[in-house]
């Protein structure tokens, strides 16, 4: 399978007077792309537009050359994508298997035997094979998140759109998620919205959204270097105008901001680069 070619150009989306996306551009084909940003930055809105759930007010989205604003092409594009929203809105009275079986029917998998095999495969892959007969209302929050991921994986989509897939997962479940994403990065274009920089660190590319615009687009390493020369460690309390600081296990303080003379500069982290980019209010990158 060839990963989908995704092209977002000049996308604007408003909700009343609020601009959620302001001329957003992105290009992706293959690999993992993280969309980082604080709450309200427009991450979920961007993913909903890419997943063809929302129509942009202006601008274009292309999936393998298909235009989702046209009904016939939107149907074809949807056959190529899997979407995991933050809340799939499952009927809690329905059994896990039945919910995914219906999704497989909607994705055009008509053969009963093949569809059953596919549903059990995705349930096993997310660690819910032994809970297939359980009603969704009896599943824990983390299990429901995994069920949302499972329905997105049905049909081996070439475009995966995942909104905060790690939310509510324990460490073992997050490791399983990383394994699944690692597998899919070779066959799919995977777009993951998150506010966790450690999740973005495993991705091939990172987009940082802030106040409805893209402030950065590049690799995780390139994002980290945005804080080069602005991270240091020192004894004693940091200066009052420091951007952020915390005490390390050795008692010294790690600081982010404008360094005083003579301090010990250190390599910045991805999170520190992200914080610096978010501070660039007037010059989106």
User: pTM higher than 0.85 for the full model?
Assistant: yes
**Spatial distance between the Cα atoms of 114 and 142, rounded to a whole number of angstroms:** 28
Q: Would you say residue 17 has pLDDT above 60? A: yes
Q: Would you say residue 36 has pLDDT above 80? A: yes
240-275 pLDDT per residue, tens:
889 999 999 999 999 999 999 999 999 999 999 999
Give the sign of the dihedral formed by CA 246, CA 210, CA 160, CA 189.
negative
> Domains in the chain: how many in total?
3
178-218 pLDDT per residue, tens:
999 999 998 999 999 998 898 899 999 999 999 899 999 99
Planar angle of CA 6, 4, 215, nearest 5 degrees = 30
* Domain end point (choices 156, 183, 203): 156
- Residues 6 or more apart whose CB falls under 8 angstroms from that of 80 comprise 4, 63, 64, 157, 158, 159
Give the sign of the dihedral formed by CA 198, CA 202, CA 60, CA 72.
negative
pLDDT of residue 107: 87
**In the structure, what pLDDT confidence band is assigned to residue 280 with cuts at 50, 70 and 90?**
low
Helices 141-153, 96-106: crossing angle, 10 deg rounding: 30
- Domain of 186, CATH number, reads 3.40.50.300
On whether both 57 and 185 belong to a single domain, the answer is yes
* Domain end point (choices 218, 240, 269): 218
On whether both 65 and 176 belong to a single domain, the answer is yes
Give me the percent of the chain exceeding a pLDDT of 70: 98
The domain of 112 spans 88-156
* Domain end point (choices 218, 242, 267): 218
Q: Would you say residue 282 has pLDDT above 70? A: no
113-143 pLDDT per residue, tens:
999 999 999 999 999 999 999 999 999 999 9
* Three-state DSSP class for residue 229: coil
On whether both 92 and 209 belong to a single domain, the answer is no
């Amino acid at each position: 399978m060839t990963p989908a070619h995704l092209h977002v150009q000049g996308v604007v989306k408003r909700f009343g007077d609020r601009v959620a996306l302001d001329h957003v551009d992105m290009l992706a084909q293959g690999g993992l792309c993280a969309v980082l940003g604080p709450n309200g930055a427009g991450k979920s809105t961007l993913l909903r537009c890419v997943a063809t759930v929302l129509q942009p007010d202006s601008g274009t989205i292309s999936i393998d050359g298909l235009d989702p604003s046209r009904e016939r092409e939107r149907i074809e594009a949807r056959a190529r994508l899997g979407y995991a929203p933050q809340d799939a809105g499952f009927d809690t009275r329905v059994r896990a298997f039945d919910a995914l079986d219906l999704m497989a029917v909607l994705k055009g998998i008509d053969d009963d035997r093949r569809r059953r095999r596919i549903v059990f495969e995705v349930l096993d892959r997310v660690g819910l094979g032994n809970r297939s007969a359980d009603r969704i209302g009896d599943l824990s929050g983390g299990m429901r998140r995994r069920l949302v991921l499972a329905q997105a994986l049905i049909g081996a989509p070439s475009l995966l759109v995942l909104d905060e897939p790690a939310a509510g997962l324990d460490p073992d479940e997050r490791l399983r998620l990383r394994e699944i994403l690692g597998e899919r990065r070779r066959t799919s274009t995977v777009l993951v919205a998150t506010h966790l920089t450690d999740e973005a660190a495993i991705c091939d590319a990172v987009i940082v959204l802030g106040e409805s615009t893209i402030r950065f687009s590049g690799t995780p390493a390139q994002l980290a270097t945005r804080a080069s020369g602005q991270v240091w460690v020192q004894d004693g309390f940091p200066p009052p105008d420091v951007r952020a600081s915390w005490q390390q296990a050795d008692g010294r303080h790690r600081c982010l901001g404008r360094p005083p003379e003579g301090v010990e500069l250190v390599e910045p982290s991805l999170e520190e680069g992200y914080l610096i980019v978010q501070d660039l209010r007037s010059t989106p990158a």
